[in-house]
Amino acid sequence: MKKLMLTVLVIVFIFGVSTAKKDKIPLIGSQAPSFTAQSTNGEVTFPDSYGKSWKILFSHPQDFTPVCSSELLELAYMQDEFKSLGVEIAVISTDNLSQHYMWKAHLEELDYKNRGVQKIDFPLFEDKDAVASKKYGMLHEPVSTSKDVRGVFIIDSENIVRSINFYPMQVGRNMQEIVRIVEALQKTDSEQVLTPANWEKGDDVLMPYYPYTKSELAANPDLKNDYYNVGNRLFFKIADKE
């Protein structure tokens, strides 16, 4: 009897660990989980189908809900802005594909904020069995076991997770902030710098180390056109002015 109880406990423990791993949110710096799903753009394997582009995966609670609709209309309006950054957009929810098609068709008829109708070029993934939602930790059980919270996963050209944000179901996402994060990540990657609080494209950036001492700065006036020091470890590089 003791042997049987021990076996049962081991099985329960293994199952629990396995489930916890499956539902774990992928960490920043980890490989983005891959999944293949039907979408409004056909079958897609995410993130692999997008090659060396950056990718953003947006999760939604439910089609046709007011907040979700406003977000998709904003994304549709900003498609070219994301494309200019080399970013591909994908949207996912646990609704089925036929529901996605109806929602997309409805949204493409709306004139939101007097911008005219917008075509939705990015795919809406079906995830009715919550396979991808579990891989990305989008089902937050205190809120719902069947509907995704509002997740944003920014993934780079090497399919590495670079940023993760979650929003409550009742609160719409700030799409300009998501653009800002991508711009900041691409800036820090290309120039090996840091971005300070509230950084916007075109602002000065922080250096991760002191390239010059105060005495070197004082002795070389030309350096002051490129760098300045505010305080301990706050060494800035002046942004190039176009």
- Does residue 17 carry a pLDDT above 60? no
- Active-site annotation holder among 37, 44, 67, 68: 68
pTM of the model: 0.86
Q: Quick: pLDDT tens for 64-81.
A: 999 999 999 999 999 999
Active site residue 68: yes
User: Token pair of 234, please?
Assistant: 């706050």
Strand order in 150-155's β-sheet?
42-46, 35-39, 124-126, 87-93, 54-59, 150-155, 161-167
φ, ψ of residue 116 to 5 degrees: the values are: 85, 170
Q: Quick: pLDDT tens for 107-134.
A: 999 999 999 999 999 999 999 999 999 9
Listed by start position, the domains of the chain span 24-173, 192-237
Class of domain 24-173: alpha beta
